[in-house]
Copies of this chain bind each other. A is one copy, B any other.
Amino acid sequence: MKSISKTITEASDKVKETMNTAMNKSSNIVSGGGQVKDIGHLYYTDLVPWNPEGGKELHEFYQRLLTYILEFVDKTNDRNEKIVDFHHPAQLMEVMDFSIPDEPQNLDQLLVDCKDTLKYQVKTGHPYFFNQLSCGLDTISLAGEFITATANTNMFTHCMFPDYKKNGLRSLPKGLVMFASEHCHYSIKSAAMVTGLGTDNCVSVPCDEKGKMIPSELERLILVAKEEGKHPYFVNATAGTTVFGAFDPINDLADICDKHGLWLHIDGILAGCNSMNADYLFQQDKHYDVRYDTGDKVIQCGRHNDIYKLWLQWRAHGTNGLEKAIDHMMGIQEYMVERLKSMPDKFHLVLEDPECTNVCFWYIPERFRSIPHSVQKEQMLGEVTPTIKQRMMNAGTLMIAYQPQGKIPNFFRNIISNPAVKKYDIDFLITEIDRLGHDL
């Protein structure tokens, strides 16, 4: 019996030991070594770096943070979850405490702040988010951004009229004018303002119905400007316009620029001539090859190292992976256009044959379906478009941007920029917009 009793005792000890080992392992993972009690009542001053002994508590804080982050990523990728739990800004002020207190908040409150921030957040990575300026939540790129944030370094960032830098616009010939298509991004006009050229000296060149700059119009306007004694010097061509995703006919524009001695620029503006030679910041007498320094290359001083996450993402995908993603999204665009064309009673494409992944269309509620398409009907559809968007936001099930373009009234601009979007998401989009808008 003694030996059996001993066996039982040993087994019992084994249980305890195993539990301890396993729990310690769990604690190791949770807190990087040792046991951690509840940290919620602690303050930032209890954590590294303010408290050099607060390493374990910091690990625990980050573990809890990661839990919330991963919950959000899971929900973002769950098609059964809403894109947004919509609250009007004033309502949001009521459910969340945005105030800046005089006294520190404890870690529990800060974690609640983080959790709530994500809770009321538009899930821009959701497969049903078709607004502009999101391409899904690339989880590798996100990892890269975490590393950049942790590294917490800065990048110190780095012609036709050489006197410009020194003497400004007055050193230039009078009446300088630039040209850009009427569909160009608004930042071009903004640049004309900021550089002191003035928006009136940025001439809008008419586009064809696909949103592409018309070369003969460009040449006509260059000649008009010359006759007026002005100095045409610059043409901004757009490769993929903001609304239609159209590509200006670069080759034709290049021929015209050659002929008249103009600078042809394709999108973006900053290019290599911004150096201020601020040698008090960017010393040339360093003990390593200063060509690797990026400080004096752009007009900002310190800036966030945003390129790192692109690098990590590119390594994860490989060039071939990125190419496949683009091909996939172009395929989804073609599928969507085909589907919308098959339902001419419910949908009208603004552009029949888009060049990029923007699909521009109106949804047609039931009461308009018997009316033949016309400019008047476009006005009516333009008027209901914001109401459909409002219903989307309140339902939180779908997000598509809308806007007018020149004389064309409000229409939906569906951007396919998330490689996680599948054909069945387009099917959902079509069904959902019909559900939300048919009775309007």
CA distance A165 to B190 in the complex (A): 9
Contact A100 B8, beta carbon cutoff 8 Å: no
Size of the chain A interface, CB-CB below 8 angstroms: 148
Contact B170 A386, beta carbon cutoff 8 Å: no
Contact A198 B186, beta carbon cutoff 8 Å: no
Contact B168 A192, beta carbon cutoff 8 Å: yes
CB neighbours of A356 from chain B (8 A): none
Residue interface bits A81-112, CB-to-B below 8 A is 1, else 0: 00000001110000000101111110001100
CA distance A301 to B14 in the complex (A): 63
Give the number of times this chain occurs in the complex, counting copies: 2
- Residue A348 is within 8 A (CB to CB) of chain B in the complex: no
Task: Give min CB distance, A399 to chain B, whole Å.
Answer: 12
- Residue A440 is within 8 A (CB to CB) of chain B in the complex: no
Residue on B nearest A387 in the bound complex, by CB:
B287
CB neighbours of A190 from chain B (8 A): 274, 276, 299
Tell me if A's interface is mostly helix, strand, loop or mixed: helix
Interface 9-residue window, one of A20-28, A232-240, A330-338, A368-376 = A20-28
CB neighbours of A418 from chain B (8 A): 49
Q: Interface on A for B, CB 8 Å cutoff?
A: 1, 4, 7-8, 11-12, 14-15, 18-19, 21-23, 25-26, 29-30, 32, 43-45, 47-50, 52, 55, 58-59, 61-63, 65-67, 69-70, 72-74, 76-77, 88-90, 98, 100-105, 109-110, 113-114, 117-118, 121-122, 124-125, 127, 133-134, 136-137, 139-140, 142-147, 149-154, 164-171, 174, 185-187, 189-190, 192-201, 242-243, 274, 276, 278-281, 283, 285-289, 292, 299, 301-302, 304, 306, 308, 311-312, 314-321, 386, 389-390, 393, 402-405, 410, 418-420
